[in-house]
Amino acid sequence: MVIRDFLKRVSSSKLGVCGLVTFLLCVLVALFAPVLAPYDPMMKHYDAANRLEKLKPPSERHWLGTTILGRDVFSQLIWGVRPALIIGLCTALGTIVIGVNIGLISGYYGGWLDNLLMRITDIFMAVPFLPFIIVILSLTGKSIWTITLAMMIILWRSTARVIRAQVLTLRQRPFVDAARISGAGNLKIIYREIAPNIMPIALVNVAFNLAWAIITEASIGFLGFGDPEVLSWGTIIYQAFASEMSYKAWWWVVPPGAAIMILVTAVYFIGRAYEEMINPRLKSW
């Protein structure tokens, strides 16, 4: 129900439709990566004379050229959609669950509990995001799950604030009083009466957190802290940068960055289209 309403609203804007189509295409690429990728992304290619085909510019055999180890960049690009989407979506959903619950409890109960939760949120606001994740990863080891978890611990903070502000106004509305008079308990009021009303804002935040998570995951990969078992777009750029070939082999660097840009732009368009629909005053075209 929420999903259908979401899709209906997003597709009423042109940019929203563009975003949705692009995003779905990325999902399809992720699902069919083994079929779509022409080669194994880790396979080293040799030419007829058995020489390593390293740093070859785009050609018919290798649409986006090869890396310094003679690997096919196009195949790496295709496989890179998977970690971006998996880490991004898991992080976004996790942060929403944490952020929405803290926002609901803080905004509804008010008083010392609200004060305590918001001061904790303030402290999290002061945590430098990327440096914190790097510290965590250097201590726990690098895997896509530790990356997801480390991002989740921090990213809920702005969602919690936004949701709380919304709950503060909802709490004053007559339907909350009506529910209380008819004997509903606090938890029932929070999750049955108030929560459905903040769903639209929560969904907008899912989109924005997803965008941040994808960019952050790429940054982690670029700094060399990506999961060594998984080839993500950030890691591809890191390998080019670390081998000091990034300013010679443009075909190795440009495509993964462009892929991140396209996917994240799509996510932003979806989020904004939806935001404009739930707040029609923003609408301009």
Which residues bind to other proteins, rule: CB under 8 A? 15, 119, 122-123, 125-132, 134-136, 138-141, 158, 211, 215, 218-219, 222-225, 234, 237, 241, 246-247, 250, 253-254, 256-257, 260-265, 267-269, 272, 281-282, 284-285
Q: Which is nearer to other proteins, 106 or 190 (CB)?
A: 106
Between 97 and 224, CB nearer to other proteins: 224
Nearest to 267 by CA among 211, 213, 202: 211
Considering the complex, what minimum distance in angstroms separates the CB of residue 279 from other proteins?
A: 8
Closest approach, Cβ 222 to other proteins, in A, equals 5
Q: How far is the CB of 3 from other proteins (least distance, A)?
A: 24
User: Please, what is the minimum distance in Å from the beta carbon of residue 6 to other proteins?
Assistant: 20
Residue 39 or 132: the one with the smaller Cβ distance to other proteins is 132
State phi, psi for 5 to the nearest 5 degrees: -60, -40
Cβ 201 vs Cβ 163: under 8 Å: yes
C-beta of 189 vs 213, nearer to other proteins: 213
Q: Minimum distance between the CB of residue 68 and other proteins, rounded to whole angstroms?
A: 16
The radius of gyration computed from the CA coordinates of the chain, to the nearest angstrom, equals 22
Distances (CA, A) of 262 to 18, 184, 235, 240, 251: 11, 47, 17, 20, 17
User: What is each CA distance from 206 to 37, 169, 199, 211, 274, in whole angstroms?
Assistant: 30, 21, 10, 9, 11
Closest to 98 measured CA to CA, from 127, 129, 120, 128 = 120
Between residues 30 and 237, which has the closer beta carbon with respect to other proteins? 237
